[in-house]
Amino acid sequence: MPMLKFYYNAAPNPMKVALLLEELGLPYEAIPVDTRKGQQFDAAYLKVNPNAKVPSIVDGAVTMFDSNGILLFLADRAKKFVPLDLASPQRGEMLSWLMFIASGIGPFSGQSVHFRHAAPEPKEYALNRYDFEAHRQWKLLEDRLASNKFLAGNEYSIVDMAFWGWARLLPHVLGTADATWTTYPNVKRHLDAISARPAATRAEALKSKHTFKTENDDEAKRFMFPQNERLKK
């Protein structure tokens, strides 16, 4: 069977999948998709992910996109890092927290980043909305981790990996620099514990294997924020 192909960049969602691949010890080919150069819109990549986002995987006959779907698929198949009894309370708890990160933490953290660091003025209303929601949702995780070693049950799981992808960038998400970890000490404790795992070290090392564009120039903005083209007169 051909080696699993993992399409990625260094953003939070691809990195959570990288962590699971390393935890499972699955051999894979890391294929960079430089979104600031518009490679997500290449015709060949759109056959893998018509939504033009990363991450995606191609594993034999299986093609998948959406990071949390990939986590669940790979963990279920390997029978690791997830409760396997589909009718169990533990499975329900895991799915609740995984989908909370998928539908809450990811989108609101992403919008907090956008309106804090990329959107033009005036943006006070939008930034206030997404900053408030990002803080509210991270506070839920902070409170959860105050009385739980892991986010879902008593064992390390794909929920913790999904958390790790975003928690690594929390000061940037919230714009709070060093004060972030004073406000969210349990998030920091959990982040540090995951980052100390050998698999996390290997996942982080992916960033040095390929060079991604870092300049937020006009070309990058055109590819990253194509909606702005509609505003041009």
pLDDT digits (tens, 9 = 90+) for 1-58: 689 999 999 999 999 999 999 999 999 999 999 999 999 999 999 999 999 999 999 9
Q: Is residue 112 part of a domain?
A: yes
Q: Is residue 121 part of a domain?
A: yes
* Structural domain boundaries, residue 22: 4-80+206-231
Does one domain contain both 98 and 167? yes
pLDDT tens readout for residues 5-21: 999 999 999 999 999 99
pLDDT of residue 233: 66
C-alpha 164, offset from chain centre: 8
Measured CA to CA, the distance from residue 204 to residue 192 in angstroms comes to 13
pLDDT of residue 1: 64
| pLDDT grade for 230, boundaries at 50, 70 and 90 | confident
Handedness of CA 203, 49, 31, 9 (dihedral sign): negative
Q: Structure pTM?
A: 0.95
Does one domain contain both 74 and 93? no
CATH of the domain at 171: 1.20.1050.10
pLDDT tens readout for residues 188-207: 999 999 999 999 999 999 98
CATH of the domain at 221: 3.40.30.10
What is the four-CA torsion angle of 9, 204, 195, 175, rounded to 10 degrees?
-50
Q: Is residue 201 part of a domain?
A: no
Does one domain contain both 101 and 175? yes
Q: Give 108's contacts (C-beta < 8 A, 6+ positions apart).
A: 130, 133, 134, 137
Domain count, the chain: 2
Does one domain contain both 173 and 148? yes
The amino acid at 224: M
Does one domain contain both 179 and 93? yes
Does one domain contain both 103 and 183? yes
pLDDT tens readout for residues 64-89: 999 999 999 999 999 999 999 999 99
